[in-house]
A and B are shown apart, each in its own frame.
Chain A
């Protein structure tokens, strides 16, 4: 049963991350996902200090606010201080993450958060933290409920906003000209990334969530030329990585989150070598642009 809960958690995290990651890599913003995944930490700690509980709702709100603040700060430094955008990303998120680490260490006595857990996650403990109703009925691990709810939100967001997300990712100038608000969709996407990160950080940790945000979409990008297929493929790749990663970790008796992230890297390598259209080892028939 433990294996089931762990793999389910991993698969749900992978689903959210892979879906949003497709938009991030196509907008050339993969590193913004990285930044958000780290910068939400002080939000989580402050929410915890204020409420004194590890309830999901205040943490998600705290992290969501910090996520949006991060993207806002990055834009601000880039536009007004005229720092290069990658430098703005680097400064912003490391600074916020450092504040989070300081908060955890200063309030270590009160904070039921562990730096290692935040960084590397502990998906193996997921089945231990059960949601037990007052009647004594066990409803399964708390984390699964949180990430399950976030997964539903993310899928609904992508289904309902599909054409706006697609258009603003491809051509934001045209989108703005015909009256689709690019900044609205940008911030909605960033909020979704923040939500996903905070829901995932307990299980896979701040560092490895980036692997799931970037590697499955990048792999899917190598395998298909169709955007919808890319979304579905990257989810499939993420779920496969959760299964394979779990059993790899059990076999090696190592970190589960680490094994899952390793599998996503192996998937990428395989696609890079053997992708039917772009694999470097496949003798591809280049489709030439047709001349008039």
Chain B
């Protein structure tokens, strides 16, 4: 089940990515519709992070191309934002929460120009959206995991982009933060923005996303959630990964999944 859409926000054509000549993504062909909340799902090592990094041209790709808003990525970088994995940076860096969020405005500022009042207001507004305004002057090393994730999210929000890539934004955060983040992502989608999220929890995936990309080195499925999250495609995605497969079996046994189809 790989559904292609017209006028996609992201179009990936025949994309292959290798590390040390060993391919980690094979011939990916997919399109993402505008205004959707997209989950990229697959087992560990499936190449989920690699896929979104390749979409943003942060990695050398072997073959294929990516077009965003029907243009090469370098022409539309100002409309794109990225929330990297929390562990990818050093949180002992001498910076305050506000310093980090203000980085979201750097892309729109030219070389040599300093952040103006409008930029600072936008950063503060983004902090309010994630409920962290009272932490603006806090040192980033003093934040909990969930707060770090909110700061990264605020930085992306400050950018006011149209397309957001998020790498495991729910990893290691508390349930309150997870709920707050998903509410925020839904609001963004309702405003017409497209959000692509790397996610590893199958159970919540059905609930969170309206478009799902199933990945295990090759593209297994891409389409509306209820059509893609089927037993057959999940087995194809997680095949060979016995523990995960049995977990899927458990879910099906308990009839918790696919809950959405049952409700209809």
Contact = CB atoms under 8 A, between A and B. Distances in A.
A178 B80 contact: yes
A171 B84 contact: yes
B177 A180 contact: no
Contacts of A177: 56, 58, 77, 80-82, 84, 165
Contacts of B176: 292
Contacts of B159: 178
Pick from B80, B103, B144, B159 the residue with the most CB of A within 10 Å: B103
Nearest to B177: A292
B264 interface: no
Pick from B99, B106, B139 the residue with the most CB of A within 10 Å: B106
Interface stretch (B87-95, B186-194, B208-216): B87-95
A291 B99 CA distance: 22
A178 B106 CA distance: 8
Given A173-B88, A289-B142, A290-B144, A178 B107 contact: yes
B77 A171 contact: no
A284 to B, nearest CB: 13
Given A171-B89, A287-B142, A290-B144, A178 B96 contact: no
Contacts of B81: 177-178
Interface string A218-245: 0001001111011000000000000000
Interface stretch (B22-30, B109-117, B230-238, B255-263): B109-117
A178 B142 contact: no
B121 interface: no
A135 interface: no
Contacts of A174: 82, 84, 103, 155
Given A167-B106, A289-B147, A179 B93 contact: no
A160 interface: yes
Contacts of B202: none
A224 B94 contact: yes
A176 interface: yes
Interface in A162-190: 162-164, 166-167, 169-171, 173-174, 176-180
Contacts of B109: 163
Interface string A46-79: 0000000000000000000000000000000000
A26 interface: yes
Contacts of A287: 139, 142
B94 A221 contact: yes
Nearest to B85: A173
B80 A26 contact: no
B69 to A, nearest CB: 14
A226 B99 CA distance: 10
B103 A167 contact: yes
Contacts of A292: 144, 146, 174, 176-177
Interface in B215-238: none
Interface string B47-67: 000000100101000000000
B78 A179 contact: yes
A170 B100 contact: yes
Contacts of B111: 160-161, 164
A160 B112 contact: yes
A167 B103 CA distance: 7
28 contacts: A26-B93, A82-B20, A161-B111, A163-B109, A163-B114, A163-B115, A169-B93, A170-B90, A170-B93, A171-B88, A173-B53, A174-B82, A174-B84, A176-B56, A176-B58, A177-B56, A177-B84, A178-B78, A179-B78, A179-B107, A224-B94, A225-B94, A226-B95, A229-B94, A230-B94, A290-B144, A292-B176, A292-B177
Given A163-B109, A166-B103, A171-B88, 8 more contacts: A26-B94, A160-B111, A171-B103, A178-B82, A225-B139, A229-B94, A289-B147, A292-B146
